[in-house]
Amino acid sequence: MDWLRWGAEATGRSPWARGRVLASLAVLTAALLAFHAAVPNAVVRFGSLVETFLPWLGLAVPVLLALALLRRSAVALVALLLPATVWGALFAGRVATAEHRGAHDVTAVQHNVSDVNADPAGTARALTGPDPDLIALEELTPSALPVYERELTPRYPYRAVRGTVGLWSKHPLTDVRAVDIRPEGFGKDWNRGVRATARTPWGEVAVYVAHLPSVRVQWHGFSSGRRDESARLLGAALAAEKLDRLILLGDLNSTVDDRGLAPVTTRLDTSEREFAFSWPASFPVSRIDHVMTREATVTHVRTLPATGSDHLPIAADIAFAP
């Protein structure tokens, strides 16, 4: 096979002289991975778009590897060590292994159940499978809410529902109140935040459920301004929380790598140990559903089987700090 011969071409160029474009692409990929925070975000929020799908930049490595072999380029092969090393440093630890649940005190389930879910009863039963202590739901509709209440209440007698978000708990809930995360211009009927105090055997824990506005990839860029504004409001509410122990469950419509969520992620443990991609359910490419904590640690996070939603549920084990 001639392509395996790595000698000089007829033009005299050696394997170290050809494939410089491929080598440049490898260096560019490594730079995007390592310095994604430097990608401009002012106009089309391209930085947030890159960060939302940041782990997938690693796919450039096998593609460039195949092209480098076809081109018989030694310089491109060496350059590929850069993005491969950077990707490994950033994400190798997130590659989920088999069930490796560590010590934990409570388990929480987070799920955007979808407002067009045709089987809310089946969805509710599926969410109780891991026997969680807390279940957070988003996109609750007036017609589906009674179904979730009927299915969950026997095992989760305590609930807190505000607008389209809700929390069901095995432990008593007190001090339930809405959390205002409405971006400017949104009406008072837009209510996607709730907060409650869960009285657990380990003490009182503030539990927040939030659903940030959706984002869109459009011809003129990544539309995330309203999501970012809502994240700032949520971050302010978390900063003002008086209880030390805190759990946030929600559909935040981006990944922990996205700088738009910094008002939230800089204040909490962001459970980056596994990918646990949750969206879209048909072919998950990112985890936009989250369980985050303060004065506690998410020891393991995983996806659950698909329901009637376009999101996969996620379950997280949580250990409280002593």
Sequential DSSP letters for 14-29: -TTTS-HHHHHHHHHH
Residue 292 within any structural domain of the chain? yes
Residue 56 within any structural domain of the chain? yes
Extract the tokens encoding 226: 């309203």
Same domain, 113 and 256: yes
Extract the tokens encoding 37: 């925070």
Total structural domains within the chain = 2
Q: Give me the domain span that covers residue 22.
A: 2-93
Q: Flag whether pLDDT at 10 surpasses 60.
A: no
Residue of 26, 66, 55 lying closest to 277 (CA atoms): 55
The pLDDT confidence band at residue 77, using thresholds 50, 70 and 90, is: very high
One-letter amino acid identity for 283?
Answer: F
Q: Flag whether pLDDT at 132 surpasses 90.
A: yes
Residue of 277, 288, 280 lying closest to 311 (CA atoms): 280
Residue where one domain finishes, among candidates 62, 93, 124: 93
One-letter amino acid identity for 61?
Answer: V
The residue-averaged pLDDT of 27-32 equals 93
* Cα maximum dimension of the chain: 79
Q: Flag whether pLDDT at 1 surpasses 50.
A: no
CB 312 within 8 A of CB 117: no
Task: Report the C-alpha gap between 49 and 143 in whole angstroms.
Answer: 35
Residue 98 within any structural domain of the chain? no
Q: Flag whether pLDDT at 217 surpasses 70.
A: no
* pLDDT tens string 255-311: 998 999 999 999 999 876 678 999 999 999 999 999 999 999 999 999 999 999 999
Confidence (pTM)? 0.85
